[in-house]
Amino acid sequence: MSRTGFPERAREGFDDRRHAGRLLARQLTGLDLTDPVVFGLARGGVPVAAEVALALGAPLRVAVARKIGAPGQPELALGAVTADGPVSYDPRLLRAFHVDEQVLEPDCARERAEARRREQLFRRGEDVPLAGRDAVLVDDGLATGATARAAVRMLREASPRSIVLAVPVGAPDAVAALRREADVVVCVLQPVGFAAVGQWYRNFRATSDEEIFDVLAEVGS
């Protein structure tokens, strides 16, 4: 075991998202959580969140946030948007790419519409009330943290007791920035040489809609 209480191989990365979720859950089970609700950030965060929900005996729901990509680099998130609520941009990246919010409005509208579509697709009955409960938001990792930031702000509007952001791996600067958004941030690995979330997974294949439906059915309500 390492000094963190995790198997040494966790420091080398994760077999897949479910393995990462089991390791992440070990840190979360020690927290003093009140009637928690676990949210997996679609898509890749949902299999990770399933293990957390099972360990906590908590209901699992899907949170949807869509990145707004940089011009010519769609995989680099300048910001993100949820189905409702304001768009969340990284001012530093906007300046670096010499773009303003007005230029990105068409992209924002498109991604907001897609977030609404996916939210309806993965909805499980009525919304779970969060007042007086702890919300645990789980993703498979933090690169820029844009989608996680947007999702935290969305959950904040439901007035939970607290918001815990939990990820298996993250860029140290992104983790530090999200500590200003969530009440608690739990991150198993913060590699100095972080380049991308996928480099810390042996199997990082894309999570399909069908896999999300299977996970939701497995965990139950």
- The model's pLDDT over 96-111, given as tens digits with 9 standing for 90+, comes to 999 988 889 999 999 9
Res. 59: pLDDT tops 90: yes
Q: Which residues pair with 189 in a beta bridge?
A: 169
What confidence score (pLDDT) does residue 113 get? 95
Tokens found for residue 171: 């860029």
One-letter amino acid at 121 equals L
- Report the distance separating Cα 54 and Cα 69, nearest Å: 33
Residue 91, helix vs strand vs coil = helix
> Mean pLDDT of all residues in the chain?
90
Residues 102, 30: Cα–Cα separation, whole Å:
44
Residue with tokens 């990145």: 67
- CA–CA dist 194, 86 (Å, integer): 29
Under DSSP, the state recorded for 124 is -
Q: What is the DSSP track for 17-83?
A: HHHHHHHHHHHHTTS--SS-EEEEETTTHHHHHHHHHHHHT--EEEE--EEEEETTEEEEEEEEE-S
In this structure, the strands spanning 73-81 and 88-89 are antiparallel
Tell me the pLDDT tens digit for each residue of 144-168.
899 999 999 999 999 999 999 999 9
Residues of the chain above pLDDT 70, percent: 94
Q: What is the pLDDT of residues 40-57, one digit of tens each?
A: 999 999 999 999 999 999
d(CA 11, CA 191): 9
Could you read off the pLDDT of 175-193 as tens digits, one per residue?
A: 999 999 999 999 999 999 8
User: Which tens digits make up the pLDDT trace of 112-143?
Assistant: 999 999 999 998 766 788 999 999 999 999 99
User: Model pTM?
Assistant: 0.89
> What does the pLDDT look like over 74-88, one tens digit per residue?
878 899 999 987 788
- Contact criterion met (CB below 8 Å) for 148 and 65: yes
Has residue 91 got a pLDDT over 90?
Answer: no
pLDDT at 11: 61
Q: What is the pLDDT of residue 57?
A: 95
Q: What is the rounded CA–CA span in Å between residue 149 and residue 41?
A: 11
Cα 102 from Cα 100, distance rounded (Å): 6
What is the predicted pLDDT for the residue at 6? 38
Max Cα distance, the chain (Å): 51
**Dist CA 39 CA 71 (whole Å):** 30
Which CATH architecture group holds 8-64+116-219?
Answer: 3-Layer(aba) Sandwich (3.40)
